[in-house]
Structure 1
């Protein structure tokens, strides 16, 4: 008699089965005896003895050959490597667990105190507060303003941030806005010295973080026409702000910078960017209550769940005017430079982390009779991820170097122009790279890459915001066009001359000749396109903006890779990276122009395609 039994050792179940088995050769006594053994189907399911080893995170500094080589080339004599190796160990042993807790214990909104008073407090976990203390002690903001390493201070600071970011539970978000606020205050001549000192201190008891409350319901990136918040002047010279901020990240900050329109004696405001001024406000009053702020709700987001992001009603928030009246948009330009560079660093850091974990896993996971690292196709995929990551890293460090030179007042005119052009280019391109590389990295873990408690899916979720924060890809592509137009093409001249100089050392290397040939051809084609584009209608240039930005990124990354591969201590992997990068279409704006993608009828055809079947 065949009997299918699903039993977990329950004696009642055994008793009920006895009748069904009364005519079989199996007795109840036999079942009881079998139940006493662990490997029977009646006691528990057999799960086997194999468990896949998880990838281990080891010191991210010692595992990053390119970071160490870059610092050896540029900062060898400063003791930076020893400091970053120490910090890398702290990231593994301390920061990683804190960041994971922030993901598992997201912020909550407490509207009222136990006695019914409206408090509007955003409660974050202890790990979030611990990351704040570490950030202060390690000088993650302060290092940029101490300028211990002169022109290279930003490279040092952002190298540290690069190690910190993937483990830090998105604490890089408040740090970016804190750094941006400090930069604005410094640039404006220190009108709020007390705030600046607290934003840049290493004393965790005095350290402040700052918010950046610019986005309103109409706004997004269009702050000029989208800002409705008004500022009413008080007799003591301060202002009270009234308005609604639709998207505010790191809302548990100590202070914030925000835009508002100053009203005249009749309550009228000036429209457009000319009516916007920049204000500084402390978020909390001396008694711990919010400064005229009501938290409407916390945002429910795809990723970045660790960061408190909220909708805020400003109902008489006390604030001081930071900029000249009507100069608010101009005053936040430096803040945007800082936050976009942070975004770039976080993108590259996410790429490096997933490559680190993927290659470590490939040494442990065995399929079809051998380890993943012994499957040529798998290694080829990882190598393509590595090439993208290395190109992104060098572009990021170059932008950081340019920023450091500007802040140290040693930047040449060409370097200043390059910083203006390449900041939005680096931000938009690395953000796209990060989403692609991290997604590919998750695939390298098979099904485990899709399982939440591995911690892997959160890397992709958090990477997805990088192309949205601080300007979407299209917004930044248009910003690239503005930089070209406002400089009368000088930024392109700076770009061209810098690339040409970086290619010169590669001429003596036969191994690099294919990459050198490809890059020079791409640069020439790019410059011809830009010269011809000057005579085209404005609409045609707008259509080409994204492909133009991509072309600038790819050509400049190629030049940086070739420059690094020409260094006297370069390795064969440096040469191979440059060759592989230059295999691709380095100048998509030219190839798509040849395909007619920017012709006058393209807009109508694009619209017809997108809205085909939709009744308008």
Structure 2
């Protein structure tokens, strides 16, 4: 090799490490929220998943799944309509590992939501696209519980640890995957404007559907929760992909969406024409039935964005810890250290909030805690709004830390950047979340009470947090014209909640810098504008992935 091509001053690949154990914010949250008797088993499971996620082989699975997106085959060689979606083998490997790691089985064991949230955050760092069907399958369970008979039939399949991609009757498979279809082209987020019609059949609870879905998530799934109109209004239905007798349901995939990111995952436009389905819940109560699924997937938007943030920060800190410039390591340069510390604060706040919400789900499931249920009603849409909004600027700044290398596909940073806006759009864009928070404030006073009890646990620990809570209460006291300033209100709710959690649980240097910048106003308009602190190096070191 010519001497001019000798490679020097390049960081080694960030591979061969435990993604879980290297994430101190995540491991501490798991230790905090799980009962002591569950910790040993959880550590073993999550560390095993973390080692897989950090391995070169699995990282190649993620790369290959992204570089080889799914393809649609509408007909077989004889002209028969088949509507099949074919994936790269790496996709199936990712799905198989996610299902075996119980990322669809939070509802079936104590502490399941915290354990599953941590695993989802770890495994999503490999490749975010396959997280969609995993999330849908996980989230379908509470919606199906509106019909105990359907739940008894399908829940064991959805919480199975075995993945089988074959198109076959669900009863003949070791496990099942779910998708969802709510959005139609004329309505978007306004699902009450949907035009898909459901006509009752002679069989009790059975209907045939006629209509279309503009976005159908994971069209290769075994079943789907969809909304359609009956005489009583929007109603929720379970639509199986393959019928019990082995024939394929009428499920015509018109095309796969050509998306900015999320390339490994299939999102489709589908049409129903006399398609068989079972009603879930009461007629006309479809939005209320399916909202339980939406709430769970919104939390996964928070976790998915936290995963992207963590991987971006890990790559940036790893690069800066090995790359030399201007006489020293980048990580030791004061300005770069400020940027990295600022990114690390944002990432830790997102992770800490996501795991706290998962713990609230466990409290509701395991103990029927109504206070935690009320907290989720307000905190989930607020967290979904804010964390997903922060993801894109963070990933862009982290990519810049790698210089020109961060703009090159081989670095993996462009893939993270293309993925980063998705969770802000999925399951309701920013305005939908902000309006949902206003709805909770107006109609469910217990939600605000639960939020104030939560943040009040840090009262007196930081004067900037105390002032931010007071300012928020002033905002909430005047709801006149609240819709126009809803984003401002929701942002403050999310930041106050993050600040409270960090003050209570994070190291003092992390909490101090977060409160000074996000709540105290000592912050610029870009990352890397933290106030002077002798602890910046400690914050960066806390975020370093140990390979």
TM-score (norm 2): 0.88
Which residue matches 1:578? 511
SS at match of 1:191: helix
SS at match of 2:283: coil
Which residue matches 2:28? 69
Q: Equivalent of 2:456, from 500, 512, 515? A: 500
SS at match of 2:367: coil
Which residue matches 1:302? 260
SS at match of 2:150: coil
The answer to whether the aligner puts 1:136 opposite 2:77 as a matched pair is: no
Q: Distance in 1 between matches of 2:7 and 2:280?
A: 65
1:153 Cα deviation after fit: 2.2
Structure 1 522/474 Cα, relative in aligned 2: closer, same or farther at 3 Å? same
Structure 1 292/544 Cα, relative in aligned 2: closer, same or farther at 3 Å? same
1:222 Cα deviation after fit: 0.9
Q: Deviations over 1:21-45 (max 9, x none)?
A: xxxxxxxxxxxxxxxxx86xxxxx9
Question: Superposition pairs for residues 205-224 of structure 1, below 5 Å?
Answer: 205=164, 206-224=174-192
The answer to whether the aligner puts 1:450 opposite 2:407 as a matched pair is: yes
Are the aligned partners of 1:551 and 1:587 in contact in 2 as well (CA < 8 Å)?
no
Unpaired runs of 5+ residues, structure 1, are 1-37, 40-44, 263-268, 507-515, 566-573, 589-616
Are the aligned partners of 1:120 and 1:290 in contact in 2 as well (CA < 8 Å)?
no
Unpaired runs of 5+ residues, structure 2, are 165-173, 522-547
Q: Equivalent of 1:82, from 37, 44, 54? A: 44
Which residue matches 2:227? 259
The answer to whether the aligner puts 1:114 opposite 2:77 as a matched pair is: yes
Are the aligned partners of 1:174 and 1:211 in contact in 2 as well (CA < 8 Å)?
yes
Q: Distance in 2 between matches of 1:287 and 1:51?
A: 62
Question: Superposition pairs for residues 128-167 of structure 1, below 5 Å?
Answer: 128-142=91-105, 144-147=106-109, 150=110, 152-167=111-126
SS at match of 2:516: coil
Which residue matches 1:127? 90
SS at match of 2:379: helix
Q: Distance in 2 between matches of 1:169 and 1:70?
A: 22
Which residue matches 1:614? none
Q: Distance in 1 between matches of 2:33 and 2:423?
A: 28
The answer to whether the aligner puts 1:170 opposite 2:103 as a matched pair is: no
1:585 Cα deviation after fit: 5.1
1:116 Cα deviation after fit: 2.2
Q: Relative contact order (alpha carbons < 8 A, sep ≥ 6): 1 or 2 greater?
A: 2
Are the aligned partners of 1:344 and 1:430 in contact in 2 as well (CA < 8 Å)?
yes
Are the aligned partners of 1:217 and 1:245 in contact in 2 as well (CA < 8 Å)?
yes
Q: Distance in 2 between matches of 1:184 and 1:113?
A: 35
Which residue matches 2:326? 368
Structure 1 436/551 Cα, relative in aligned 2: closer, same or farther at 3 Å? same
Q: Deviations over 1:116-141 (max 9, x none)?
A: 22222111111222222222221111
Are the aligned partners of 1:119 and 1:289 in contact in 2 as well (CA < 8 Å)?
no
Structure 1 491/286 Cα, relative in aligned 2: closer, same or farther at 3 Å? closer
Determine which structure has more spread, i.e. the larger CA radius of gyration. Answer: 1
1:46 Cα deviation after fit: 5.2
Are the aligned partners of 2:29 and 2:355 in contact in 1 as well (CA < 8 Å)?
no
SS at match of 1:355: helix
The answer to whether the aligner puts 1:556 opposite 2:489 as a matched pair is: no
Q: Distance in 2 between matches of 1:289 and 1:92?
A: 41
Are the aligned partners of 1:110 and 1:121 in contact in 2 as well (CA < 8 Å)?
yes
Structure 1 523/49 Cα, relative in aligned 2: closer, same or farther at 3 Å? closer
Structure 1 116/587 Cα, relative in aligned 2: closer, same or farther at 3 Å? farther
Are the aligned partners of 2:146 and 2:280 in contact in 1 as well (CA < 8 Å)?
no
1:51 Cα deviation after fit: 6.7
Are the aligned partners of 1:339 and 1:470 in contact in 2 as well (CA < 8 Å)?
yes
1:364 Cα deviation after fit: 1.6
Are the aligned partners of 1:555 and 1:587 in contact in 2 as well (CA < 8 Å)?
no
Q: Number of residues paired by the alignment?
A: 506
1:394 Cα deviation after fit: 1.3
